[in-house]
Amino acid sequence: MSTQVLSERDEGEREGEREGFDAHVARASGAPLARRATPATLQVNLGKRCNMACLHCHVEAGPKRTEEMGAETAAQVVALLTRAPALTTLDLTGGAPELNAHFRDLVRAARALGRRVIDRCNLTVLLEPGHEDLAAFLAAQGVEVVASLPCYLEDNVERQRGKGAFAQSVEALRRLNALGYGREGSPLTLNLVYNPLGPALPPAQEGLEVAYKRELRARYGVEFSRLLTLTNMPIKRFADQLARLGRHEEYMRLLVDSFNPATLEGLMCRDHLSVSWDGRLFDCDFNQMLELPLGAAPRRLDDLLAAPAPLAALAAAPVATGAHCFGCAAGAGSSCGGALR
């Protein structure tokens, strides 16, 4: 990346850092950012390998990435779930988490423990050679699918995700629908994820969901459960795109100016624990990509498991924050579960 692009990105980040997220929270809400609750969701990044390389990807995932979770770390994830019943949800992400050799074993183990399992799926992976039975496996295990589909219009999707991505996504959605996913009265949940094409906040989630359901049903016969709107985070690949366009500072200003104190209670960093492919711990997936360590100790899975009560040290612990945190607290808010307000 050129020095000019880097300087534009740095200047944009300074816009949000002049006061700092924590100080901004305290001034705007009259109280500091609330500390952690006991984690309820274990979000695990299985690696950065993906069959796609989307423009907005905060992981900078792609087909050439080689970082992947190994058997030992996957076993530690299962051990933590076994010892910490407060962790009621296993949220699997990547890259394309399904490409990891241990994905299915993790799903089976978590389901055997009675945990809710979420697969953050890019849809096109369901059509990859060697994964023809993946959709049926997810259905048989009762896995909740959260699938990225940044628009119901082909052109918008392909501008973010590449040529052919939309048609493949529709085909994958139809396969999931055929198994019962997203159908009214079915226990199989299929949620879609929208994120803006450029430097803007998402529209109101409820109204956009109505439009998504209407258009996908009418155009393609596709059904789904809920729409989740996510704000593009000003980090990694999306930050690079903003810097190239000279709009990073503008976007940071939008996020800071749109700060909404009502979102703070629902921020995912308060009840999520993020695990990297190599077993390190973070307050959220975004902090993980920025290498911003957990605000509490211990900071690795193996050290956490060495404690008599693994989650005890995390309850009421501080959260590590940065300028990017304005993305989660802007407008209606943004989390892995969609809008917060």
The answer to whether 115 touches 144, Cβ cutoff 8 Å, is no
Query: What residue type is assigned to position 61 of the chain?
Result: A
Average pLDDT over residues 160-182: 94
Using the 8-state DSSP alphabet, how is residue 33 labeled? P
Query: What residue type is assigned to position 13 of the chain?
Result: E
Residue 160 lies in a domain: yes
Residue 333 lies in a domain: no
pLDDT above 60 (res 132): yes
Q: What would the pLDDT profile of 112-126 be if each residue is shown by its tens digit?
A: 999 999 999 999 999
**Mean pLDDT, the chain, as a whole number?**
91
Tokens of 114: 């009675």
Confidence of residue 60 (pLDDT cuts 50, 70, 90): confident
Residue 340 lies in a domain: no
Q: Report the domain count for the chain.
A: 1
Per-residue pLDDT at 3: 39
CA dist list (Å): 153 to 142, 160, 162, 195, 214: 29, 12, 13, 13, 12
| Domain ranges, residue 187 | 3-327
pTM given for the model: 0.93
Q: How many CB atoms lie within 10 A of CB 189?
A: 17
Per-residue pLDDT at 2: 42
Q: In sequence order, what are the residues at sequence separation of 6 or more whose Cβ sits closer than 8 angstroms to the Cβ of residue 307?
A: 298, 313
Q: Comparing 14-23, 257-266, 308-317, which segment has the lowest mean pLDDT? A: 14-23
pLDDT above 90 (res 142): yes
Comparing 14 with 227, the larger pLDDT belongs to: 227
Residue 73 lies in a domain: yes
DSSP letter for each residue of 40-101: -EEEEE-BSB-S---TT-TT--BTT---B--HHHHHHHHHHHHH-TT--EEEEESSSGGGST
Q: What would the pLDDT profile of 211-221 be if each residue is shown by its tens digit?
A: 999 999 999 99
Residue 334 lies in a domain: no
Per-residue pLDDT at 156: 85
Per-residue pLDDT at 214: 97
pLDDT above 60 (res 95): yes
Per-residue pLDDT at 59: 86
Percentage of the chain with pLDDT > 70? 94
Residue 88 lies in a domain: yes
**Of the candidates 249, 252, 214, 210, the residue with the CA atom closest to the CA atom of residue 231:** 252
Per-residue pLDDT at 15: 41
pLDDT above 50 (res 9): no
Residue 341 lies in a domain: no
Residue 337 lies in a domain: no
Confidence of residue 8 (pLDDT cuts 50, 70, 90): very low
CATH number at residue 267: 3.20.20
pLDDT above 90 (res 53): no
Confidence of residue 18 (pLDDT cuts 50, 70, 90): low
Q: What would the pLDDT profile of 278-318 be if each residue is shown by its tens digit?
A: 999 999 999 999 999 998 888 999 999 999 999 998 989 99
Confidence of residue 157 (pLDDT cuts 50, 70, 90): confident
Per-residue pLDDT at 154: 87
Average pLDDT over residues 51-63: 85
